[in-house]
Chains A and B, each alone.
Chain A
Amino acid sequence: MARLAGLLTLTMAGGMLLPVAASFYYADGAQYALIFATLLMGAVGLFLRNIAGRNATYDLRERESFWITSVVWITVPLCGAIPYLMTGTLQSFTDAAFESISGFSTTGSSVIVRPEAIPQSLLLWRSMTQWIGGLGLILLVVALLRRLSGGSLKLYAAEFSGTQQRKLHPHIAKSVMRMWFIYSFITVLLIVLLALAGNSALDSVCLALSTVSTGGFMTAQFGLTGYSGLTLGILTVFMFLSGVNVALLYNLFTLKWRRFKVNHEFVLYAVLFFFAALSCFVAFSIANGNFTLENLGFSLFHIASTVSTCGFYTEGPAVWPFWPSVLTFMLILSGACAGSTGGGLKLRRLMVLFLYMRNYLTRMVHPHVVFSIKIDHKVVPGDYVNKIFGFLFLYICFIIGGAFLLTISGSSVADAFCLASANISNLGPSPLINSLGANLEYASLPLLSKWTLMVLMLAGRLEIFALLAIVSPSYWKRR
């Protein structure tokens, strides 16, 4: 299993070569840092693969997949933190680790106050960490699928524990390659569109990388304020798309449009988005007194950003009434579709939950009726429901625990909850959180807060079980 971890790390390191190349192009002094970090990643990967994993057997069980996931998700961000330190952009190890983990977990909480001031290739590095993190699971399986004896699905499950995946094709390898293709294609498409809309090359690339991975790193101090309406519009569309199940997106290309209607989760996602945006628009307009196109645009942008757990920020209407705040909070928790790079509880889980509750209430009244839960006309087995419940409970526990730690380090209760929720759902910055200041940066938070949030980010990204697995004593017991 070390071999597999090594392979994965290597692949990720490979992805980081792009910023390295960029640093030469920009000649902005960050070359050495980036090269060093990438080489370190590569070295770790090689070490794991060739030395520690020398006598590897390819029989993979789920517990090993937890190990792989955790190892990769800890070592890679650590390596990724090095450039920030070496170039002097960030002074403390906490900050660098924070930024890196925020990147690889596609959260988007940033401690860099003025992104314009840091070396450009470092900006690219930052956004790249998000893209790589977002596609991490796909790379995971791509790297592993040829070698595994049947555990590849389980590995997949290690990152997406508790959700069902819509397979494109019976053969998992092909499916994954296709997903990779989709992501890359969408990213490139977005880059081109952004560039055409008038943004600089660096901006286009960085924003595209951050959007498709639903991460949310922004390249300017005030978020996306001041970008053209066209840019924001393009981003809105692509944010929305990024929150959709990747397998489903493939049908865009094969033009099987009907598949979208049949997928209940997507329908929920779309309907949610539509009504949320509309109600926000109405609320904003009433509170601010004017029904402008600007308000509409902002509502669409904000909701798309929230519902896909992207976390882009732009300046909105002056007055935030009650409803958008509440809606934002709820959408942060509910998250995007399963099988996308988005975070949160995932709509599929909520659907199962809702259907089960309806079942339950009916059974209270008519105790002898038997229902089963069906999504997309397929039955959801009973123990699945139990696992989803367990996940939900742990998720909430993490939020409460995280909020508690945050209050110890000085946040108010409301802020603590918003912060914890936003980070475990991998959203990132949100206008809900007062303590982040006007520019939504995390730099001014105390040390304990930052470390708490880092754990929360990882927990959210790894869907909790993988994270818990390695810290639970029963994991290390002999089988």
Chain B
Amino acid sequence: MKNSDWKAVLHFIGPLLMAEGILMALCLIPAWHFADGTAPQTALCSAVTFAVGAFLHFRFRHFRNIKDRRMSYLLVVLLWIVLSLFATLPFLASGATHSFTYAWFEAMSGFSTCGATIFPDVAALPASILLWRSMMQWFGGFGIVLLVLALTPKLGINKYALYTAEASGADNAGTGAVRAVVTVRRTLTVYLGMTLFFILALLAAGMQAWDAVNLTFCNISSGGFAPASDSIASLTPLQQYILAGAMFFSGVNFTLLYLLFTFRWRKMKHKFDELNSYLFLCIVAVAFVVVFLHTNSGLPWSDAFRVGTVQTISALTTTGSVVADYTLWPVPVTFLLLILAICGGMAGSTSGGLKTMRVLILFRNARAILRNRLHPHIVNPVRLNGKPVTGHISNNVMVIFIVFGGTLMLGVMGLMLCGVSPTEAIGASVGCLTGYGPGLGASGGFGSYAHFSFPALWYCSFLMLMGRLECMTLIILLLPRFWKR
């Protein structure tokens, strides 16, 4: 890869660092308002980040083209790593934690909208840090790449390569510069609109502005952080339901939401397949969980319904907000929650996991194969949204499925090697890779990852990155073939 390509990469990272710096500066507001004493440190971090970003952007302003396709993969990964690196600064500077590992874990968890936290006592953190966490999730949820796409008309890199690098899979956002920009604009509009809406809704439901902003940021991005140690358990039922709504919508394809909110319902009809699966999963899972909780845990219907619905939606959309300590629930229910997290939300939303679209394709593919064996002469294509899914796409989905599963297994084993108990390893592996967040055992429910060993934490951070970048992007970087001339 050419030297100029590397410089172009740095050039692109610049503006995003600057944006990050600006976000950090926004955290000065709570620092002043709550007078938590971190104002000078926050200002310093913000200035440093912004300065570095400006420097990179300015210094390499002549390198605007990436000629090598492989560089786009590298760009995405580097972007994520660099942004997370600078995101650790507020944690370290404000004294919230003194260990770089911890700061890195929290930063990665924030940007990848995982929601696994390293702080057992969240409420004791300074206000600016609390906002920073929520900010990271909000920012990360939207997807930094979408922002890059918005900038691409000027930059001229291979947009399709970049997009596939970040959201590989059978998404129908399409190719072409115009369509990409349109998608970005729509997504951004929906995202901002929903954020505003849910903040207002929470305010109307009696929540303080501070909590409303933080919680909305964390939930609309399928993140899972919260400004309290017990996540969302202490809120009023109405507030919990509103947040569940936010989570639910965060798991829906944003283009679909745009069409919904702008009343172009006829256009929506073509994209219903995945939505149907999403709804179906939601309803069936919620029904099962609620009934099981009522019959096996003896919770009254109202409680079971509230807790079951909210936690199930939280799991399916891989948000990770915890409404009750689900580690105390019957094993089948916890098992189901993990499976839901693996399934994930719809493609083109902020949630993680495998994405419902892929699961749907896998099932339809299997069904088609079965039918093919029974009636070998019938032409029987797999259809999604009325369009046939070629064998090529099916195989690609299958590959991602296998890589995902393999990474999960390796995650469990690796964590066990780092000294984590088997149950917790399974929970943490699923939690970090899918972006759900909390796992099982002491790191699940209202707990934190603080008791994990350092190697385990690094491994979890790695899993978070893998999950966010949909595995393949990272794996390809690990191949020696990638680096050959």
Contact = CB atoms under 8 A, between A and B. Distances in A.
B412 to A, nearest CB: 9
B417 A386 contact: no
B365 A386 contact: yes
Contact of B373 (A360, A393, A404, A469): A469
Interface string A338-372: 00000000000000010011001110110100000
B417 A407 contact: no
B395 A385 contact: yes
Secondary structure call for the B interface: helix
B391 interface: yes
A330 B422 CA distance: 16
Given A364-B476, A365-B476, A390 B331 contact: no
Contacts of B403: 357
Interface stretch (B43-51, B107-115, B195-203, B332-340): B332-340
B369 A414 contact: no
A393 B364 CA distance: 11
Contact of B426 (A66, A326, A356, A413): A413
B384 to A, nearest CB: 16
B263 interface: no
Interface band, chain A: 35 or more
A416 to B, nearest CB: 8
Interface band, chain B: 35 or more
Interface in A375-402: 382-383, 385-387, 389-394, 396-397, 400
A365 B481 contact: yes
B423 A161 contact: no
A414 B422 contact: yes
Contacts of A322: 416-417
A445 to B, nearest CB: 15
A412 to B, nearest CB: 6
Given A63-B374, A387-B369, A400 B339 contact: yes
Nearest to B416: A322
A407 B333 CA distance: 9
Given A356-B399, A400-B339, A474 B371 contact: yes
B480 to A, nearest CB: 11
B402 A62 contact: no
Contacts of B120: none
B101 interface: no
B399 A357 contact: yes
A356 B426 CA distance: 28
B183 to A, nearest CB: 23
Contacts of B335: 403-404, 407, 413, 416
Contacts of A393: 362, 365-366, 398, 401
Given A63-B373, A393-B366, 10 more contacts: A357-B402, A367-B69, A385-B395, A386-B365, A386-B394, A393-B398, A403-B335, A404-B335, A469-B373, A469-B374
Interface of B: 69-70, 331-332, 334-336, 339, 362, 365-366, 369-371, 373-376, 391, 394-396, 398-399, 401-403, 405, 409, 413, 416-417, 422-423, 426, 472, 475-476, 479, 481-482
25 contacts: A62-B373, A66-B374, A357-B402, A360-B399, A361-B479, A361-B481, A362-B481, A364-B472, A364-B476, A365-B69, A365-B70, A365-B479, A386-B365, A391-B369, A396-B405, A403-B335, A404-B339, A412-B331, A413-B426, A414-B422, A465-B369, A465-B373, A469-B374, A472-B370, A474-B374
